[in-house]
C-alpha cells in the first residue's frame, strides 16, 4: 500500500517537472546583445541589467566578456530578451587590496568599477529598445565624468 501511494505521488509530480523545461511556456524572446564601454574602453566583468519601463514585463541580464560584449538572457531556459522598452543599469565590483591584514587575511575594500550613477536604472540615464526582430547592436557608452 505504501509503495502504491509513493507511485501515485511521483506520477502526479511528473507533469510539473516538465513545465518550462525547454522554455515552451515562456514569453517570446529575441536576440539582444551589445557592448559596454567606459571612456571608450571595453568593460570586462560588468553586470548589465535591463529593467522594464512598463508593468507586467520581465527584465534580462548578462555579464560582459573581456571585450565588453554581452548577450542578454531573460530566462535560464532560453536566450534573449522580451521585446519592449527598458531602463538599463550597469555595475561592476572591483576588489582593492590594502596594506596590512584583517583577522589574519588580506585587507580589502570593494569599489565600483563603473561610476555609481550607472548602477541604478533610475539614475543611469541609459535606456534601450528591443524590437520584435531583436537588437544585436546595443551600445552602452559610459563616461567617468
Could you list the mean pLDDT of each consecutive 10-residue stretch along the chain, which spans 145 residues?
41 44 77 98 97 88 97 94 96 83 73 91 96 97 93
Q: 34 with 70: CB under 8 angstroms?
A: yes
Cell matching residue 50: 535591463
Question: What's the pLDDT at 145?
Answer: 80
Q: Which residue has the cell 541580464?
A: 61
Pairing mode, strands 126-130 and 135-142:
unpaired
The pTM of this model reads 0.76
Question: What's the pLDDT at 23?
Answer: 53
Query: 145, 144, 136: which is closest to 41 by C-alpha?
Result: 144
Q: Which residue has the cell 560582459?
A: 64
Query: 28, 69, 74: which is closest to 49 by C-alpha?
Result: 74
Question: What's the pLDDT at 56?
Answer: 74
* Residues 82, 130: Cα–Cα separation, whole Å: 7
Question: What's the pLDDT at 24?
Answer: 67
Amino acid at each position: 500500500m505504501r509503495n502504491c501511494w509513493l507511485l501515485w505521488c511521483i506520477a502526479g509530480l511528473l507533469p510539473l517537472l516538465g513545465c518550462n523545461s525547454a522554455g515552451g511556456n515562456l514569453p517570446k524572446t529575441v536576440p539582444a546583445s551589445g557592448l559596454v564601454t567606459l571612456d571608450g574602453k571595453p568593460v570586462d566583468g560588468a553586470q548589465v541589467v535591463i529593467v522594464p519601463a512598463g508593468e507586467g514585463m520581465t527584465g534580462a541580464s548578462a555579464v560582459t566578456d573581456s571585450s565588453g560584449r554581452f548577450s542578454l538572457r531573460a530566462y535560464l531556459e532560453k536566450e534573449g530578451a522580451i521585446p519592449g522598452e527598458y531602463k538599463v543599469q550597469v555595475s561592476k565590483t572591483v576588489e582593492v587590496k590594502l596594506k596590512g591584514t584583517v583577522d589574519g587575511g588580506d585587507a580589502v575594500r570593494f569599489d565600483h568599477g563603473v561610476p555609481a550613477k550607472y548602477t541604478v536604472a533610475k539614475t543611469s540615464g541609459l535606456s534601450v529598445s528591443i524590437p520584435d526582430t531583436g537588437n544585436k547592436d546595443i551600445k552602452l557608452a559610459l563616461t567617468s565624468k
